[in-house]
A and B are shown apart, each in its own frame.
Chain A
Amino acid sequence: MSHDNHGGTKKIWIVFWLLLALTSIEVALGIYKPFSYEILKWTFIILTLVKAYYIVAYFMHVKHERSNFAWTLALPTFILIPYLLFILLTEASDLIV
């Protein structure tokens, strides 16, 4: 294949330990609940997005794809999913009483 094999297996294991650490933090926060619900909720969402970035960028190799391909995948995601969530969570809550 034309793609270079970036780095050895070391990077893969670093990402694995990072994902494991972030998941452990999430579980610990979920069990002990040291903060208010609002803070916890946003902490969970941010940690999840960080995890998602590392899975897509390194495991799914998008970081090493051509940037035009990466943007072809990223733009629909970044536009359509927030739009969908906005419609469902913000707008629809007024429709049903």
Chain B
Amino acid sequence: MGAKATTQSVWSGGTRPYDASYGKMMMWFFLLTDALTFSGFLGAYGFARFKYAEIWPNAENVFTHFPGVEGHQPLLYVALMTFILIMSSVTMVLAVHHGKNMEHKKVAIWMGLTVIGGIIFLGSQAWEWMHFIHGTVEGALHLANGSIAHIVAPGTDVLGQVFDYEVLKLGAEKFITDPSAIATLKEGAEHVYGANMVINEYGLPQFANFFFFITGFHGFHVFTGVLLNTIIFINVLFGTYERRGHYEMVEKVGLYWHFVDLVWVFVFTFFYLV
């Protein structure tokens, strides 16, 4: 057969040049556009983060709580959240694997575990948001010029010196120790706790805006994923795909679920580590 004949037979229909079904391909193209959306968000975050590098709040000084553990615990909680999402990605890929072998019972078990993993992740995120919104016990001063100053308690070691009065800390490194300068800064200052879209006790409000927007948009994806996974899980229980003869729907929601995990890998790196 000549090259021309082969070309004709491919393009005259009836064959799948990509050897993938329509639904699976469209899921992939949707995920491709979604990847570009998230790249735009994380790129914008990177722009703000490096533009205000000196005064940008450090995520490890913001997210320092771990349930049931006292004290400063940076990164541990978000590492746990990452672990939960990777784990639920594994249960998903196992469900797809057993679906291809038409093992109905195993698909149901692994799909069920994936739904549970997703719900645990959403709960963890709610806990993280709650702590961020409520803030610390000490709070911070929102100065008249719009910047944030942290109060350092008397008796704390400040760059090798100890003061018997409250001193102010601006940004990460700068300390105001002169009493008259402190009094001037405190004029018209407001005591604030936690973070919202307008004021952020940890520093720039943009940090809070990006945090709410990016983790919120990702959390919305997780929520949608849990919803889709639940629908597919119920269909698996009813034997819909057993009757259909294949478990491709499990594979399609699986792609979406892995994408959610993939995005979290990047959010974890760029929001919490870099």
The chain A residues found within 8 Å of chain B, CB to CB, are 1-3, 5, 9, 12-13, 16, 19-20, 23-24, 26-27, 29-31, 40-41, 44-45, 47-48, 51-52, 55-56, 58-61, 65-66, 68-69, 72-73, 76-77, 80-81, 84-85, 88-89, 92-93, 96
Asked if B100 and A1 sit within 8 Å, CB to CB, the answer is yes
Q: Is the interface of B mostly helix, strand, loop or mixed?
A: helix
- CB neighbours of B32 from chain A (8 A): 73, 76-77
- CB neighbours of A68 from chain B (8 A): 17-18
Interface residues on chain B, number (Cβ under 8 Å):
52
Asked if A52 and B266 sit within 8 Å, CB to CB, the answer is yes
Partner of B35, one of A13, A72, A81: A81
- For the complex, what is the distance from the CA of A85 to the CA of B255, rounded to whole Å? 25
Asked if A30 and B273 sit within 8 Å, CB to CB, the answer is yes
Q: How far is the CB of B87 from chain A (nearest CB, A)?
A: 8
Q: From known contacts A72-B18, A93-B47, infer whether A30 and B86 are also in contact, taking CB-CB under 8 Å.
A: no
- The 0/1 profile, CB within 8 Å of A marked 1, for residues 229-267 of chain B is 000000000000000001110010011001101100110
The chain B residues found within 8 Å of chain A, CB to CB, are 17-20, 25, 28, 32, 35-36, 39-40, 43-44, 46-47, 50-51, 60, 74-76, 79, 82-83, 86-87, 89-90, 92-94, 96-97, 100-101, 246-248, 251, 254-255, 258-259, 261-262, 265-266, 268-269, 272-274
Q: From known contacts A45-B274, A60-B255, A69-B18, infer whether A23 and B94 are also in contact, taking CB-CB under 8 Å.
A: no
